[in-house]
């Protein structure tokens, strides 16, 4: 049996190998002027309209002085804005500027392209083995991490239960009001969509999922029939504090998988130019933007609607 020292050496050797594969020790992360830590801070800030600096420091386990200097540099470069909370002057809030979101998009796209190129060099069987092995590593280390949620904190996609439909309407209304400033007209629309799903439900060709993390509802998505050959993805939401954990991607992937297995030829969805994180998830799943609507007054806002489409094999 290998000794503990041998196990430690094996893990350290793997860390060095994987770091070299991803080029994390180069001058800049994914050929940008930003280090891996700086890129991670930008990524976290992009997950919500504004982030409390203390929560950001705790989430990334960064030294307070180091993070403060980094944010100061980001401010000087026009990437970040900081201000005191209106509710509690002791709390400092940070948000990405438009320029900061452009940098995030660049980092996100290059990171995805880097991993895609890595996976494209593998056969289908080897790719599945690699991804399964990475899931195993994550599960084992999460279970041994005292600050991780543990087995009860695994991401689970489940079918609807009593009370879920009300939660979907409520959270859609709350999230879009707080993040987009939309009025109750959007919540009313969600309520109609949910009611139609129940009243006209085709169990063989329509489905809905709730994402749970540690037993808590953190997301949802619906797959409904648009017509005989077209499925529609609707009502994708992810709780702000779990964005970046793969919840949205898992929900979209499951929706696409179900639509393909149900015999649809294509899948469509409607979103707006404002939903940047969701649009990136759709693009990674293979959806393509096929129509940009003229700006219209909806939900108390000027909405730039978009239609995205995916051909199903």
Helix intervals (H) in the chain: 4-22, 36-46, 53-60, 64-76, 98-120, 124-144, 164-180, 184-199, 247-261, 276-284
Tell whether 196 is covered by a domain.
yes
Q: What one-character-per-residue DSSP string does 130-190 give?
A: HHHHHHHHHHHHHHH-TTS--GGG-EEEE---TTHHHHHHHHHHHHHHHHH---HHHHHHH
Pairwise pLDDT comparison (195 vs 303), residue with the higher score: 195
Residues 85, 243: Cα–Cα separation, whole Å: 22
Domain harbouring 184, CATH code: 3.40.630.30
Q: Are residues 169 and 63 in the same domain?
A: no
Q: What pLDDT, on the 0 to 100 scale, is given for residue 75?
A: 93
Taking alpha carbons only, the member of 211, 216, 220, 242 closest to residue 47 is 242
Write out the residue range of the structural domain in which residue 213 sits. Answer: 154-311
Tell whether 135 is covered by a domain.
no
Question: How much is the mean pLDDT over the chain?
Answer: 85
Q: What is the pLDDT of residues 261-304, one digit of tens each?
A: 999 999 999 998 888 889 999 999 999 999 988 888 888 888 88
Q: Are residues 92 and 197 in the same domain?
A: no
Q: Are residues 170 and 303 in the same domain?
A: yes
What 8-state DSSP symbol labels residue 43?
A: H
At a CB cut-off of 8 Å and minimum separation 6, what does 289 contact?
Answer: 306, 307, 308
Tell whether 142 is covered by a domain.
no
Q: Are residues 167 and 272 in the same domain?
A: yes
Pairwise pLDDT comparison (87 vs 221), residue with the higher score: 221
Q: What is the pLDDT of residues 232-257, one digit of tens each?
A: 999 999 998 888 788 999 999 999 99
Q: What pLDDT, on the 0 to 100 scale, is given for residue 79?
A: 93
Q: Are residues 301 and 222 in the same domain?
A: yes
Tell whether 68 is covered by a domain.
yes
Q: What pLDDT, on the 0 to 100 scale, is given for residue 164?
A: 94
Lowest model confidence (mean pLDDT) among 4-13, 71-80, 108-117, 243-252? 4-13
Tell whether 270 is covered by a domain.
yes
Six-digit token string for 214: 């540690």
Domain harbouring 47, CATH code: 1.10.10.10
Q: Are residues 257 and 111 in the same domain?
A: no
Q: What pLDDT, on the 0 to 100 scale, is given for residue 2?
A: 61
Q: Are residues 177 and 286 in the same domain?
A: yes
> 6 pLDDT exceeds 70?
yes
Structural domains of the chain, count? 2
> 15 pLDDT exceeds 80?
no
Q: What percentage of the chain has pLDDT greater than the value 70? A: 88
105: left (phi over 0), alpha (psi -120 to 50) or beta: alpha
Q: What pLDDT, on the 0 to 100 scale, is given for residue 301?
A: 86
- Pick from 121, 145, 169: which residue ends a domain? 121
Tell whether 133 is covered by a domain.
no
Q: Are residues 11 and 82 in the same domain?
A: yes
Q: Are residues 204 and 270 in the same domain?
A: yes
Pairwise pLDDT comparison (43 vs 168), residue with the higher score: 168
Q: What is the pLDDT of residues 119-157, one digit of tens each?
A: 888 888 888 788 778 777 766 775 554 434 433 357 889
Q: What pLDDT, on the 0 to 100 scale, is given for residue 150?
A: 38
Q: Are residues 117 and 158 in the same domain?
A: no
Q: Are residues 188 and 107 in the same domain?
A: no
Q: Are residues 306 and 258 in the same domain?
A: yes
Tell whether 145 is covered by a domain.
no
- Pick from 75, 99, 121: which residue ends a domain? 121
Tell whether 190 is covered by a domain.
yes
């Amino acid at each position: 049996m290998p000794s503990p020292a041998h196990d430690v050496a094996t893990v350290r050797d793997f860390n060095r190998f994987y770091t070299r594969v991803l080029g994390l020790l180069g001058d800049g992360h994914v050929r940008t002027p930003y280090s891996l830590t700086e890129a991670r801070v930008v990524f976290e800030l992009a997950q919500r309209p504004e982030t409390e600096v203390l929560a950001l420091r705790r989430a990334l386990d960064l030294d307070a002085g180091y993070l403060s200097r980094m944010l100061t540099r980001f401010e000087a470069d026009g990437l970040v804005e900081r201000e005191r909370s209106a509710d509690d002057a002791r709390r400092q809030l940070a948000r990405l500027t438009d320029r900061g979101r452009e940098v995030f998009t660049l980092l996100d796209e290059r990171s995805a392209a880097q991993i895609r190129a890595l996976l494209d060099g593998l056969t289908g069987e080897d790719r599945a083995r690699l991804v399964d092995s990475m899931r195993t590593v994550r599960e084992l280390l999460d279970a041994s991490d005292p600050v991780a949620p543990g087995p009860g904190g695994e991401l689970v996609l489940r079918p609807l239960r009593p009370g879920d439909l009300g939660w979907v309407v409520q959270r859609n209304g709350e999230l879009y009001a707080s993040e987009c400033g939309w009025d109750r007209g959007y919540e009313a629309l969600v309520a109609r969509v949910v009611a139609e799903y129940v009243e006209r439900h085709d169990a063989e060709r329509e489905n809905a999922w709730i994402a749970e993390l540690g037993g808590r509802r953190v997301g949802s998505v619906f797959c409904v029939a648009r017509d005989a050959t077209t499925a529609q993805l609707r009502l994708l939401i992810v709780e702000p504090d779990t964005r970046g954990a793969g919840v949205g991607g898992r929900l979209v992937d499951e929706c696409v998988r179900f639509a393909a297995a149900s015999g649809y030829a294509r899948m469509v969805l409607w979103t707006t130019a404002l939903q940047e994180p969701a649009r990136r998830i759709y693009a990674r799943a293979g959806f393509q933007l096929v129509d940009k609507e003229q700006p219209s007054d909806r939900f108390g806002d000027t909405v730039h609607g978009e239609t995205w489409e995916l051909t199903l094999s």
